Amino acid sequence: MPTLLLTLFISCIRASVLPKSAQPTAAGSTYRALVAGSVGEQFRDVAKIAEVALKELAEDEVLVKVVYAGVNGGCETFRARGEFAFASNRESDSGFALGAEGVGVVAAIGSAVEGFAEGDAVCFVGSGFAEYTTAKARTLWRVPEPTAEMAALRISGLTACAMMEVTGQVKAGETVLVTAAAGGAGHFAVQFAKLAGCTVVGTCSSEEKARALCALGCDHIINYKTRDVGEALARLAPGGVDVVFEGVGGRMLQTALAHLKEDGRLLQVGYISEYPHNPERAAETAAHDLETSSLFWKAETIQRGKQTIYGNAWPKDFAARVLDLHASGQLAALVDEKRTFAGLESVADAIEYMLSGEAVGKVVVRIGDP
């Protein structure tokens, strides 16, 4: 399994730690975190709030006080179930931490850490659903402020950047289809395609999402609740689309494949219609002939004639690229404003809301104050 996959999507089980010499008095000797004692059917079944002891930091680690945690519904679903990249959770005797990503402020640093100081705002990966978390210093992104938008950039923005610019290598003049285009990763993909000079077609499920996509510069918007996506694509791109950024799976994936050019590229970044929360998942999975779970979790690349299907969504570190574009105003980070989630007690609700498909942009949870 790729080391990068583990870095991005498997939170370490050990408790967050800090050196005895730098223990923040506000934190005391423990902090609250969402942990799972064992695997279960869904996140809500396994997530429990626990008091976790603060321990001594390793020399290359940083303690982060969490301000916002990003919600990655698929990641937390499979983490809770102990499936795919999280299969080791089924064998854990001591349980496992929850949460994939977030932003906060540095509370303490290990003895060998350079380039960070207490009070710095940073994005991190791993164990985000906690008041404090630890991370290797080399994995942190320094950011201007610990805002919800920064949490959205860390995995969703990074994934879209890597898949569009490196894996997909989108080029000026190409037509790009982005499914779930108003979602956490999709809205970034729209922008990276536009930055490359592409014509972008986005699918969504509401007029509210369509307005958001219009503001991002999406050229053509298909509300699949009111229009047939296949018919719309036949009219908008009669010769087929060059690239698809696809995170839905099921029937939408099959439609995308049917309208992909003979030598087109499809970038599979998820398959939410086939996740366990959907009671229609079996029918969705049967709608196409790809093994979406294997394609995604094993980071496979397959050929279908001259077409290339990429399941490798695990990005390299494009921190500077993503953060510079955001700072310059060329990359907007949409954070859902329809629902507000605050505190560890609200995390399960936030995950279910994200999986419902109602959100516009990234769903985040406010964990604490800077």
Q: Indicate the domain borders of the chain.
A: 3-146+336-366, 155-310
Strands, sheet with 241-246, edge to edge from the N-terminal-most edge strand:
220-223, 199-204, 175-178, 241-246, 260-268, 307-310, 301-304
Secondary element (H or E) of residue 39: none
What's residue 315's pLDDT? 67
Cβ contact 320:166 at 8 Å = no
- The stretch 240-265 carries a mean pLDDT of 98
- Is beta strand 301-304 parallel, antiparallel or unpaired with respect to 307-310? antiparallel
- The stretch 31-54 carries a mean pLDDT of 97
What's residue 28's pLDDT? 67
Q: Structure tokens of 48?
A: 């429990």
Kindly report the number of other CB atoms within 10 A of residue 206's CB atom: 15
What's residue 91's pLDDT? 94
In b/e form, how buried is each residue of 267-291, taking b as 16+ CB within 10 angstroms? bbbbbbbbbebbeebeebbebbebe
Of 243, 246, 248, the closest CA to residue 198 belongs to 243
Q: Structure tokens of 74?
A: 């698929």
Q: Lowest-confidence range among 5-19, 49-63, 127-141, 350-364?
A: 5-19
Higher model confidence: residue 141 or residue 5? 141
Provide the pLDDT confidence category of residue 5 given band limits of 50, 70 and 90.
Answer: very low
Give pLDDT tens digits for 167-179: 999 999 999 999 9
What's residue 318's pLDDT? 83
Cβ contact 344:49 at 8 Å = yes
Class of residue 209 by CB neighbours under 10 A (exposed 0-12, middle 13-18, buried 19+)? buried
Q: Give the mean pLDDT of the chain.
A: 92
Cβ contact 248:271 at 8 Å = yes
CA dist 358 and 45 (Å) reads: 22
What's residue 317's pLDDT? 76
317 secondary structure, DSSP code: -
What's residue 22's pLDDT? 42
166 Cβ partners below 8 Å, 6+ apart? 315, 316, 318
- Is beta strand 241-246 parallel, antiparallel or unpaired with respect to 260-268? parallel
CATH number for domain 155-310, candidates 3.40.630.10, 3.90.1150.10, 3.90.480.20, 3.40.50.720: 3.40.50.720
- The stretch 317-343 carries a mean pLDDT of 95
Cβ contact 99:130 at 8 Å = yes
CA dist 291 and 1 (Å) reads: 18
Q: Structure tokens of 279?
A: 């009671």
CA dist 369 and 346 (Å) reads: 16
Give pLDDT tens digits for 190-218: 999 999 999 999 999 999 999 999 999 99
**Residue type at 239?**
G
Has residue 260 got a pLDDT over 50?
Answer: yes
- Measured at the alpha carbon of residue 132, what is the angle toward residues 131 and 136, in degrees to the nearest 5? 150
Q: Which CATH architecture has domain 3-146+336-366?
A: Alpha-Beta Complex (3.90)
Longest dimension (CA), the chain: 66
CA dist 124 and 212 (Å) reads: 27
Backbone φ and ψ of 264, nearest 5°: -80, 170
